């Protein structure tokens, strides 16, 4: 990341639309919501992009102070969101994305490390992150950041 002048800062309300757009542009084939649409089509008049973008609204509603954005030359180019379970001492990273043009330069790792620092400061004893088995980048990046695989989950759905 030495060649990039990137600032990681706390989320602000003005970032919301940018983060929603970045999410829709970034996820696609690695989002369970997109897989549901691929299999079952659109229902309820809302496509996978609308549902996936809503995850960001949920993240900031739940823990805005634990959402961080990466800014490069005044432009938001990535983000990481977190949840802090103080009762159980578990920090979780629900969403992480880096703009396609900025990938492969260590920014994803920096955002994860920032979230881990935030968890440590909050006194968490464990950090969790999930990825789809179809996402090869997560399966390389997360162990590289120190996470260990502990189990695999299978997603089921049916049309009603």
Residue numbers of the site for ligand COA (CB under 6 A)?
26-27, 30, 96-98, 103-109, 131, 135-138, 140-141, 144
| Residue 74 Cβ vs ligand COA, minimum distance, rounded to whole Å | 19
* Closer CB to ligand COA, 90 or 105, in the complex: 105
- The span from the CA of 84 to the CA of 62, in Å, is 9
* Closer CB to ligand COA, 44 or 101, in the complex: 101
| Residue 98 Cβ vs ligand COA, minimum distance, rounded to whole Å | 4
By CB atoms closer than 10 A (0-12, 13-18, 19+), residue 11 is buried
* Closer CB to ligand COA, 18 or 30, in the complex: 30
- The span from the CA of 26 to the CA of 148, in Å, is 24
| CA nearest to 40, candidates 153, 134, 132, 156 | 156
* Closer CB to ligand COA, 84 or 93, in the complex: 93
Which residue's C-beta sits nearest to ligand COA?
108
| CA nearest to 112, candidates 149, 135, 84, 138 | 138
């Amino acid at each position: 990341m030495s060649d990039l002048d990137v600032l990681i800062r706390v989320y602000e309300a003005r970032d919301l639309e940018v983060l929603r757009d970045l999410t829709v542009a970034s996820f696609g084939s690695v989002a369970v919501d997109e897989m549901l649409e691929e299999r079952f089509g659109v229902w309820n008049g809302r496509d996978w992009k609308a549902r996936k973008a809503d995850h960001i609204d949920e993240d900031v509603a739940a823990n805005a102070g634990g959402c961080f954005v990466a800014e490069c030359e005044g432009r938001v180019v990535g983000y990481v969101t977190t949840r802090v379970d103080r009762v159980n001492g578990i920090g979780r990273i629900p969403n992480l994305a880096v703009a396609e043009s900025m990938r492969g330069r260590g920014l994803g790792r920096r955002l994860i490390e920032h979230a881990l620092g935030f968890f440590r400061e909050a006194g968490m004893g464990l950090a969790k992150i999930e990825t789809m088995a179809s996402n090869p980048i997560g399966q390389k990046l997360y162990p590289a950041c120190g996470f260990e695989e502990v189990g695999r989950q299978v997603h089921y759905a049916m049309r009603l």
